[in-house]
Chains A and B, each alone.
Chain A
Amino acid sequence: MNKKRIEIVNNLSELESLVAFVQKTSDEWNLSPKLRFNLNLVLEELVTNTISYGYHDIPNQDQTINIVMVLDDGKLSITITDRAQAFNPVQKEDPSIHNKSIEEREVGGLGIYLVKQLMDEIEYKREDGQNVLVLRTELKD
């Protein structure tokens, strides 16, 4: 079993460290270009969401976001943990995107939808004041 971990602070400038983390991990684990792309996207969407909305009104807490990636037996899991406001992306309603004209399409709301589409499984729990999100995908190619 392979395991990698990164802790970032609640600031959008941390996206750069996240990109470097995904790059390094993907190189070491020899992940496909498709999976690298998807990991970048999934992490960016979720972390950006937490940074943009999650820590409002709770300024004095530990404002870090923890990311653990595990590769085991052809399966990859990502666990994201933070102390931000409770937010369950699994329950977030999908944007309506089909058969919509340009005028009808709403700007935004796509991030979580993309995450759900690109991962095989997504699980959320609120535990000890923390958001714990686990995402899983298989290494298909």
Chain B
Amino acid sequence: MNCEVKTIVDVTVLSLSGRLDASNSKEFEDQVVKLIDSGQKAFVANLTGLDYISSAGLRVFLLLIKKLGDKGYIHLCCLQEQVKEVFDISGFTSIFQIFDDEDSAVEA
């Protein structure tokens, strides 16, 4: 899994690629928690390149949205079909705001 970070105005965009699983979810969690702790409040996770996610990865997204609470948000965009299905089954599509493209997710 690779997570590239860029900033568009005051929004931090995380571009994930590869597999987010039990072997690397902690690394991703630490990376984003550090950004939240340094004061970042607005996040977009662009999942265009994310081929795979398991419950270990879903857990991190839930932790992040809980940690941000009322003070911030994490929007998602560009989920691949199977990743979307796992988000659906987990009930995450009603928790997260999901967009078709990065621009909409950043502007929302």
Q: B54 near A: Cβ within 8 Å?
A: yes
Instruction: Name the one of B55, B82, B95 contacting A37, with C-beta atoms under 8 angstroms.
Output: B82
Report B86 CB to chain A, min CB distance, Å. 7
Report A66 CB to chain B, min CB distance, Å. 19
Q: Which applies to chain B's interface (DSSP): helix, strand, loop or mixed?
A: helix
The number of inter-chain residue pairs (CB within 8 angstroms) is: 63
Instruction: Name the one of A41, A45, A107 contacting B63, with C-beta atoms under 8 angstroms.
Output: A107
Residue contact B21 to A117, C-beta cutoff 8 Å = no
> How many of B's residues come within 8 Å of A, CB to CB?
21
Residue contact A37 to B52, C-beta cutoff 8 Å = yes
Residue contact B66 to A110, C-beta cutoff 8 Å = no
Given the complex, which residues of B lie within 8 Å of A118, measured CB to CB?
89
* Residue on B nearest A112 in the bound complex, by CB: B55
> Lowest 10 A-B CB distances belong to which pairs?
A97-B91, A111-B55, A37-B82, A110-B55, A48-B22, A44-B54, A117-B89, A15-B23, A107-B62, A41-B54
Residue pairs across A and B with Cβ atoms less than 8 A apart, 12 shown, are: A15-B22, A34-B81, A37-B52, A40-B52, A41-B52, A45-B54, A48-B22, A97-B90, A102-B95, A107-B62, A114-B55, A114-B86
